[in-house]
Amino acid sequence: MPATLMRKEQRLEARISPEAKALCQEAAALEGRTLTDFIVGCAVESARQILRDRELINLSQRDRSAFVASLLNPPLPNQRLKEAARRYEQVLGNR
């Protein structure tokens, strides 16, 4: 875990049911961790997973096939694209 996630400068409080606390205490004990370490570790891992999931694009088989086909056989540039490329060259040139 990065050092920035290990520094303990902030406090986080939550109210949970006795059943939820007992469940987490049991799981933490099975892993040989404190309740706090278990809760924070699970929360951080869950947050990472959610952020990773947001970064991925899931495509159907049909969409994947269309995407790959467009990469392997790109269409010829149309007039608008040719004009955009010409304007780009005029403005930015070969930097």
pLDDT in tens, 5-58: 667 889 999 999 999 999 999 999 999 999 999 999 999 999 999 999 888 888
- Asked, for residue 8, whether it belongs to a domain, the answer is no
- Asked, for residue 40, whether it belongs to a domain, the answer is yes
What pLDDT is recorded for position 57? Answer: 83
Give the helix ranges, DSSP H, for 1-95: 3-6, 18-30, 35-55, 61-72, 79-92
What pLDDT is recorded for position 4? Answer: 63
What pLDDT is recorded for position 16? Answer: 95
Domain boundaries, position 23: 14-58
What pLDDT is recorded for position 5? Answer: 67
Domain count for the chain, please give it. 1
Record the pTM.
Answer: 0.57
